[in-house]
Protein backbone atom coordinates (compact mmCIF):
# COMPACT_ATOMS: atom_id res chain seq x y z
CA UNK A 1 0.00 0.00 0.00
CA UNK A 2 1.36 3.41 -0.87
CA UNK A 3 -0.09 6.68 0.20
CA UNK A 4 -0.79 9.39 -2.30
CA UNK A 5 -1.29 12.98 -1.33
CA UNK A 6 -4.21 14.78 -2.91
CA UNK A 7 -3.93 18.53 -3.20
CA UNK A 8 -6.78 20.85 -4.09
CA UNK A 9 -6.71 24.57 -4.86
CA UNK A 10 -9.54 27.09 -4.60
CA UNK A 11 -9.98 30.78 -5.39
CA UNK A 12 -12.35 33.32 -3.86
CA UNK A 13 -12.98 37.00 -4.46
CA UNK A 14 -15.25 39.56 -2.83
CA UNK A 15 -15.96 43.29 -2.86
CA UNK A 16 -18.04 45.47 -0.55
CA UNK A 17 -18.90 49.17 -0.70
CA UNK A 18 -17.46 51.55 1.91
CA UNK A 19 -20.12 53.44 3.81
CA UNK A 20 -20.13 55.94 6.70
CA UNK A 21 -21.44 54.64 10.01
CA UNK A 22 -20.23 51.06 9.56
CA UNK A 23 -17.39 49.19 11.28
CA UNK A 24 -14.42 48.20 9.12
CA UNK A 25 -13.57 44.54 9.75
CA UNK A 26 -10.89 42.88 7.61
CA UNK A 27 -9.77 39.32 8.25
CA UNK A 28 -11.56 39.36 11.59
CA UNK A 29 -9.68 42.47 12.76
CA UNK A 30 -11.54 45.71 13.43
CA UNK A 31 -9.67 48.67 11.93
CA UNK A 32 -10.31 52.26 13.00
CA UNK A 33 -11.45 54.19 9.91
CA UNK A 34 -14.06 56.82 9.01
CA UNK A 35 -16.04 54.28 6.98
CA UNK A 36 -16.84 50.58 7.08
CA UNK A 37 -18.02 47.97 4.63
CA UNK A 38 -21.72 47.74 3.81
CA UNK A 39 -23.38 44.34 3.77
CA UNK A 40 -25.81 41.91 5.34
CA UNK A 41 -23.19 40.44 7.70
CA UNK A 42 -20.19 42.34 9.08
CA UNK A 43 -19.13 42.52 5.39
CA UNK A 44 -15.60 41.21 6.04
CA UNK A 45 -14.41 40.87 2.42
CA UNK A 46 -11.29 38.97 3.45
CA UNK A 47 -13.15 36.23 5.30
CA UNK A 48 -15.85 36.06 2.60
CA UNK A 49 -13.24 35.53 -0.13
CA UNK A 50 -11.49 33.05 2.17
CA UNK A 51 -14.69 31.03 2.68
CA UNK A 52 -15.17 30.88 -1.10
CA UNK A 53 -11.55 29.82 -1.69
CA UNK A 54 -11.67 27.04 0.92
CA UNK A 55 -15.13 25.92 -0.17
CA UNK A 56 -14.06 25.96 -3.81
CA UNK A 57 -11.05 23.80 -3.05
CA UNK A 58 -13.26 21.33 -1.18
CA UNK A 59 -15.93 21.26 -3.89
CA UNK A 60 -18.53 22.89 -1.62
CA UNK A 61 -21.10 25.50 -2.75
CA UNK A 62 -20.24 29.21 -2.64
CA UNK A 63 -20.75 31.45 0.40
CA UNK A 64 -24.08 32.78 -0.90
CA UNK A 65 -25.48 29.27 -1.02
CA UNK A 66 -24.02 28.26 2.36
CA UNK A 67 -25.18 31.44 4.14
CA UNK A 68 -28.06 33.06 2.17
CA UNK A 69 -28.36 36.82 2.76
CA UNK A 70 -32.14 36.35 2.76
CA UNK A 71 -31.66 34.47 6.04
CA UNK A 72 -32.15 36.81 9.01
CA UNK A 73 -29.84 34.56 11.06
CA UNK A 74 -26.86 36.02 9.19
CA UNK A 75 -27.81 39.71 9.56
CA UNK A 76 -24.82 41.50 11.08
CA UNK A 77 -23.17 38.09 11.47
CA UNK A 78 -19.57 37.79 12.61
CA UNK A 79 -17.92 36.39 9.47
CA UNK A 80 -15.49 34.51 11.74
CA UNK A 81 -18.44 32.35 12.77
CA UNK A 82 -19.39 31.76 9.13
CA UNK A 83 -15.79 30.76 8.42
CA UNK A 84 -15.80 28.36 11.39
CA UNK A 85 -19.00 26.73 10.11
CA UNK A 86 -17.60 26.49 6.62
CA UNK A 87 -14.29 25.06 7.88
CA UNK A 88 -16.22 22.40 9.76
CA UNK A 89 -17.73 21.31 6.42
CA UNK A 90 -14.31 21.41 4.72
CA UNK A 91 -12.69 19.35 7.50
CA UNK A 92 -15.69 17.02 7.55
CA UNK A 93 -14.83 16.06 3.97
CA UNK A 94 -11.32 15.13 5.17
CA UNK A 95 -9.43 18.22 4.07
CA UNK A 96 -6.73 20.12 5.96
CA UNK A 97 -5.50 23.62 5.07
CA UNK A 98 -2.04 23.72 3.49
CA UNK A 99 -1.89 27.50 3.01
CA UNK A 100 -3.98 30.55 2.23
CA UNK A 101 -2.72 33.50 0.21
CA UNK A 102 -4.71 36.72 0.64
CA UNK A 103 -4.60 39.95 -1.37
CA UNK A 104 -6.58 42.91 0.00
CA UNK A 105 -7.32 45.65 -2.55
CA UNK A 106 -7.84 48.97 -0.75
CA UNK A 107 -6.88 52.56 -1.42
CA UNK A 108 -7.47 53.60 2.18
CA UNK A 109 -6.93 53.04 5.04
CA UNK A 110 -3.26 52.16 4.76
CA UNK A 111 -3.15 48.46 5.61
CA UNK A 112 0.56 47.82 6.14
CA UNK A 113 0.29 48.49 9.92
CA UNK A 114 -2.55 45.93 10.15
CA UNK A 115 -1.27 43.08 7.97
CA UNK A 116 0.42 41.26 10.83
CA UNK A 117 -2.67 41.37 13.08
CA UNK A 118 -4.84 40.14 10.18
CA UNK A 119 -2.38 37.33 9.46
CA UNK A 120 -2.41 36.20 13.10
CA UNK A 121 -6.20 36.39 13.32
CA UNK A 122 -6.78 34.46 10.08
CA UNK A 123 -4.32 31.76 11.25
CA UNK A 124 -6.17 31.58 14.56
CA UNK A 125 -9.58 31.30 12.86
CA UNK A 126 -8.28 28.48 10.65
CA UNK A 127 -6.34 26.79 13.49
CA UNK A 128 -3.15 26.83 11.40
CA UNK A 129 0.32 28.28 11.92
CA UNK A 130 0.88 31.91 10.91
CA UNK A 131 3.45 30.64 8.39
CA UNK A 132 0.55 29.04 6.47
CA UNK A 133 -1.10 32.43 5.97
CA UNK A 134 0.05 35.25 3.71
CA UNK A 135 -1.54 38.70 3.70
CA UNK A 136 -0.75 41.22 0.98
CA UNK A 137 -2.21 44.68 0.56
CA UNK A 138 -2.46 46.56 -2.74
CA UNK A 139 -3.87 49.89 -3.80
CA UNK A 140 -5.58 50.27 -7.18
CA UNK A 141 -3.59 53.37 -8.14
CA UNK A 142 -6.61 55.67 -7.95
CA UNK A 143 -8.46 53.67 -10.62
CA UNK A 144 -11.94 52.09 -10.44
CA UNK A 145 -14.23 51.93 -7.39
CA UNK A 146 -11.51 50.53 -5.13
CA UNK A 147 -9.04 53.14 -6.35
CA UNK A 148 -11.54 55.93 -5.67
CA UNK A 149 -11.95 54.64 -2.12
CA UNK A 150 -15.57 53.59 -2.66
CA UNK A 151 -14.99 49.88 -2.01
CA UNK A 152 -12.57 47.31 -0.65
CA UNK A 153 -12.01 43.95 -2.36
CA UNK A 154 -10.14 40.75 -1.59
CA UNK A 155 -8.74 37.85 -3.59
CA UNK A 156 -7.79 34.60 -1.85
CA UNK A 157 -6.20 31.38 -3.03
CA UNK A 158 -6.36 28.39 -0.68
CA UNK A 159 -4.60 25.05 -0.79
CA UNK A 160 -6.03 21.95 0.86
CA UNK A 161 -4.73 18.43 1.28
CA UNK A 162 -6.90 15.34 1.69
CA UNK A 163 -6.21 13.46 4.92
CA UNK A 164 -5.24 9.78 4.76
CA UNK A 165 -5.62 9.41 1.03
CA UNK A 166 -4.36 5.91 0.33
CA UNK A 167 -4.31 3.75 -2.74
CA UNK A 168 -3.68 0.00 -2.77
H helix or E strand, kind and range, residue 92: helix 79-92
Size of the site for Mg ion (CB under 5 A): 2
Q: Of the two residues 37 and 111, which places its CB atom closer to Mg ion in the complex?
A: 37
CA dihedral 162, 129, 80, 108 (to 10 degrees): -120
Span 44-83, contacts to Mg ion by CB under 5 A: 48
Closest CA to 58 of 38, 84, 81, 88: 88
Q: In what order do the strands lie in the sheet with 151-162?
A: 35-37, 7-20, 151-162, 95-105, 133-138
Name the residue nearer to Mg ion (CB basis): 22 or 94. Answer: 22
Tell which positions 11-50 bind Mg ion, by CB under 5 A: 14, 48
Contacts of 113 (CB under 8 A, 6+ apart): none
Least CB distance to Mg ion at residue 79 (A): 8
CB of 16 to Mg ion, least distance (A): 6
> Exposed (0-12), middle (13-18) or buried (19+): which is 38, by Cβ within 10 Å?
middle
Toward Mg ion, which CB reaches closer, 98 or 103? Answer: 103
- Judged by CB under 5 A, the chain residues 119 through 138 that form the site for Mg ion are none
| Per-residue exposure over 10-23, b if at least 16 CB sit within 10 Å of its own CB, e if not | bebebbbebeeebe
Nearer Cβ to Mg ion, position 116 or 144? Answer: 144
107 binds Mg ion (CB under 5 A): no
Q: Which is nearer to Mg ion, 25 or 97 (CB)?
A: 25
Stretch near Mg ion under the rule CB under 5 A, chosen from 10-18, 23-31, 84-92, 159-167: 10-18
Q: Which residues bind Mg ion (CB under 5 A)?
A: 14, 48
Amino acid sequence: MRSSVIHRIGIGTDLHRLEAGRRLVLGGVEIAFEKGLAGHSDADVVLHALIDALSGAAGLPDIGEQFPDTDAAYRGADSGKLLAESMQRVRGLGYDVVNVDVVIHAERPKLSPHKDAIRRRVAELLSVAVEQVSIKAKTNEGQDAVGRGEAIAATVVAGLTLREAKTA
